[in-house]
Amino acid sequence: MHKHHSALGVATALKPAAPATLIRPQAAARAARFFAEKFPGRSLYAVKANPSPDLIRTLFASGITHFDVASIAEVRLVAETLEGQAKLCFMHPVKAEEAIAEAYHVHGVRTFSLDTMDELEKILRATNDASDLELCVRLRVSSEHSELSLASKFGVELGETRELLMATRQAADALGICFHVGSQAMSPQAYSDAIERVRAAIVDAAVTVDIIDVGGGFPSVYPGMEPPALEAYFDAIHRGFESLPVSYSSELWCEPGRALSAEYSSVVVRVERRRGTELYINDGAYGALFDAAHIGWRFPVALLREEENEAELTGFSFYGPTCDDMDHMVGPFMLPEDVQAGDYIEIGMLGAYGAAMRTGFNGFTSEAVIEVEDEPMASLYVDAVPARRRATVIKLG
C-alpha cells in the first residue's frame, strides 16, 4: 500500500488516471476510541458499513472488540481477520438456517437477533436447542428523525411483542431487545422515542431483559447535515436506559457503522470533461458514489490545486464513467467556477458504504488504496477539522 502526506500530494505527485481511495487509519482509530470511552455501554461495529480488513483491525486495536455481522460471509471475514479474538453478534433478523449453524458451531457466535417466532424456532433448531444463547428481539421503531428509513423491513410491532418476548425469554440464557432508528439520525430524540417503545414492550410482556441494544443510526457530517454532538445522543440514550425496568446487571449496546467508518476514507477523482455545470469524472454510481446517485446524498468536495483560487463557488453535478445515464450524481457539489478537465477533486466521507458498494460495472473500478496523514474533510471528533477543511480549494503546505 502506498503512503502519502495528503490528498493534494496524491493528486499533484501521483496524478492517478483511475480513482484513488484514500484511507486515514488515524481517523478511524479516533472514532473507535471516542465510542469505546464515551458511549455508556458496549459498542459493536456494524461491518456492513465498510468490511475492509484493515479497518476492522484498526477498530479492534482501538477498543472495538464486538462486531455486528449480518451474513455468514461477514462472520467468516471478522473471525479470520481477528483470528477469533472478537465477539460476533449475528444481528440480521432473517438468516439462513445453515448460516446460523455455521456461526454457532464453527465460529462460536452466541448472539442472534430475531423478530418472529419462526426465526426463534430456526435458531433453536440450528443450534440444537443450545442453552447459552443471547437472543435479541428486534422491535420496530420510527425513523422520522433519520435521513434514511429502516422502519419497514424488520421489527415486530409494539402490540405484537408479548408472545415473542416471553418465548424468547424461555429459550435464551440472556434476553435482549434491539431496534434501529434509521441511518443518519439527526436528533437524539430518535433514541429517546425508541426507548419509550422498549419500555412499553417490557411492561406488557413482564419479562426480565438483560440487553438493550439501541442499534445504529449515529450520524456523521455532510453538506447540509450537521448533527448535534455525539455526546448529546449518548446522554439521551443513557437517561432512557437508566429509566427502563430491566435487570440490575443488564447491558447497554449500540451498533455504529457510519459513525466509525465515514471519516476513514475518501476518493480522489479526475475530471475528464466539463459540459456547463456538469462534470464527467472517473468514479460514480457503480463505484464509491452509489449513495450520491441513488438517494441524492451530498458529500463534501474539494478541488485539489497547489495555487490559490478565488473563483466563485458554483453548484455542479457529476456524471460517472460508465455508459449508463443513471450514473449521475445531481448534487449540487460546490466547487470553484473555473474547474476544468484534468483537475482532481477529493470527495470526502466515503468510508461508510462507499467502498462497500463499489462494483466493476463497465470495467471501471478503483484498485489504488493510499494511506494519507491529513485530516478527513469533516469530523465529529475534532473541532478544528470542519473549519480548516471546509474550503473547496486546498493549498499545498
Q: According to the model, what pLDDT value does residue 149 have?
A: 80
Q: According to the model, what pLDDT value does residue 51 have?
A: 97
- Residue 169 amino acid letter: R
Q: According to the model, what pLDDT value does residue 366 have?
A: 78
Q: At what angle do helices 25-38 and 230-242 cross, to 10 degrees?
A: 30
- Interatomic CA distance for residues 198 and 191, integer angstroms: 10
- Residue 196 amino acid letter: E
Q: According to the model, what pLDDT value does residue 314 have?
A: 95
We find that the CATH architecture of domain 2-23+263-394 is: Beta Barrel (2.40)
Residues in the chain, overall count: 397
Q: What is the pTM of this model?
A: 0.93
CA geometry: angle 379, 289, 386, nearest 5 deg:
15
Q: According to the model, what pLDDT value does residue 365 have?
A: 84
The one-digit pLDDT tens for each residue of the chain (397 residues) are 678 899 999 999 999 999 999 999 999 999 999 999 999 999 999 999 999 999 999 999 999 999 999 999 999 999 999 999 999 999 999 999 999 999 999 999 999 999 999 999 999 999 999 999 999 999 999 888 888 888 888 999 998 999 999 999 999 999 999 999 999 999 999 999 999 999 999 999 999 999 999 999 999 999 999 999 999 999 999 999 999 999 889 999 999 999 999 999 999 999 999 999 999 999 999 999 999 999 999 999 999 998 888 889 999 999 999 999 999 999 999 999 999 999 999 999 999 999 888 888 898 887 799 999 999 999 999 864 443 343 333 333 3
CA geometry: angle 216, 19, 73, nearest 5 deg:
40
pLDDT tens-digit series, residues 324-380: 999 999 999 999 999 999 999 999 999 999 988 888 889 888 779 999 999 999 999
Q: According to the model, what pLDDT value does residue 1 have?
A: 64
Q: Where in the chain is CATH 2.40.37.10? A: 2-23+263-394
Q: According to the model, what pLDDT value does residue 3 have?
A: 85
**Options 3.40.30.10, 3.30.70.1350, 1.10.1510.10, 3.20.20.10; CATH of 25-261:** 3.20.20.10
Q: According to the model, what pLDDT value does residue 50 have?
A: 97
Q: How many CA atoms lie within 13 A of 83 on its CB side?
A: 1
Cβ neighbours of residue 111 under 8 Å, at least 6 residues apart? 87, 88, 89, 90, 91, 133, 134, 135, 136, 176
Q: Where in the chain is CATH 3.20.20.10? A: 25-261
Element (H, E) at 90: strand 87-90
Q: Which of 126, 108, 129, 118 is nearest to 173 (CA)?
A: 129
Q: According to the model, what pLDDT value does residue 395 have?
A: 36
- Interatomic CA distance for residues 181 and 247, integer angstroms: 23
Q: According to the model, what pLDDT value does residue 394 have?
A: 38
